[in-house]
Amino acid sequence: MATIDVNKNGLTDEQADIIRQTLPVVGANIGDITPNFYRRMFAAHPELLADTFNRGNQKQGAQQKALAASVATFAATLVDPEAPAPEELLARIGHKHLSVGIVEEQYPIVHKHLFDAIEEILTPEVFQGAVRDAWDAVYLEMQRVLVNFEKGLYDEAGVEPGDVFRAAEVVSRDDLSDDVVVFGVRGKDGELPGFTPGQYISVRQTMSDGARQLRQYSLVGVPGDGVLKFAVRRVRADEAANLPAGEVSNKLCDDVRVGDDIEISLPAGDLVLDTESDAPVVLVSAGIGATPMVGMLNYLAANDSPRRVLSVHADRSEAADVLAAERTAAVSALANGAERRWIEPEFMDLSAGGGVELPEDAEFYICGGNGFLQHVREQLAERGVDRSRIHFELFSPNDWLLDA
């Protein structure tokens, strides 16, 4: 099994002192460093923007914050003897890299352009010599950990690093609403790999300008039948919030029909159901965050699980909750299943006074936006739920907000 192995003693005492002293100034300038970094990297390697990075996230600045802040978060844990290694953060990054086919040779590209950007923003007088060497040591340790972890993931999948995309055919399309479609795909050149409930795939689409953009979608079907099912939500532009329309999602909803060819990645993702456990399960979701939870529920129902299962979900409206019927059907098929739902203006309340009984010693799986996850985690912490039993996935790349 692929493992995260961080060497907390990888820095010299001098390097650790330098990181502690400079971490505040690096963190304070991330907003300037990251646009500079991406401008540099995409100018030198335009293929990365076209074929690897999410252009929508780039327009919003989300990906920039995620990458730069993950390096800063990693640095902070290296120089704090009391801080645990950020294993969840690193695992999420590693699985995302698997889903888009990142290989070891791409890490030096990021290294060069990120550190050149830091030097320009902080000035060479600040970020040179021993200072740059110390940050080099941080990045190279993070690179070592991720490369080894990702090699383990590739080995488990039985593929060469980067060889993750497969040709598939769309065998079903179910329009649940104007904005949500569930696609089913089958391999064209052999059976598609199995997956663990909760995982996702990347879907690659060629855009009108020739860019081959990737997006990730949770799997909602049951492993083992040779068909992978995933839900796609249309993303409409929001000019007031400066949010662009979803390139890949909208193209899938508008153009892809049964019989069409499609390109998908191997399944990835670390928010997965422990299928060997008999512990109670609490599945917590908001909006389209219900998709990985439906996958877990369908697996539990298909296997007649005796586990105690509680599904709790929040949504904007009855109409927006397009997976409600599938969720309810799965819960009803379970011997010990229960569910609860909140529709705005009501909001999910898992606090002690919210009236929801939480199974003792349950494993919690959460998926939703950043604010939702932070809100739920605070409520669970107040109820004494140990952090080790809380597992989560996000809509956006801002993972670091939850672990910073």
What ranges make up the beta strands (E) of 236-299? 261-265, 281-286
Active-site annotation holds for 339: no
Please calculate the CA angle 67-68-70 and round it to the nearest 5 degrees. Answer: 65
List 88, 119, 141, 150, catalytic entry: 150
d(CA 155, CA 3) in angstroms, rounded, equals 12
- Quickly list DSSP for 299-365: HHHHTT--S-EEEEEEES-TTT-TTHHHHHHHHHHSTTEEEEEEETTS----STTS--PPPTT-EEE
Which residue's structure tokens are 């820095």? 11
List 38, 88, 107, 339, catalytic entry: 107
Give the three-class secondary structure for 400: helix
Active-site annotation holds for 150: yes
- Judge contact between 287 and 180, C-beta under 8 A: no
d(CA 99, CA 89) in angstroms, rounded, equals 16
Burial of 275 (0-12, 13-18, 19+ CB in 10 A): middle
Active site residue ranges: 107, 150
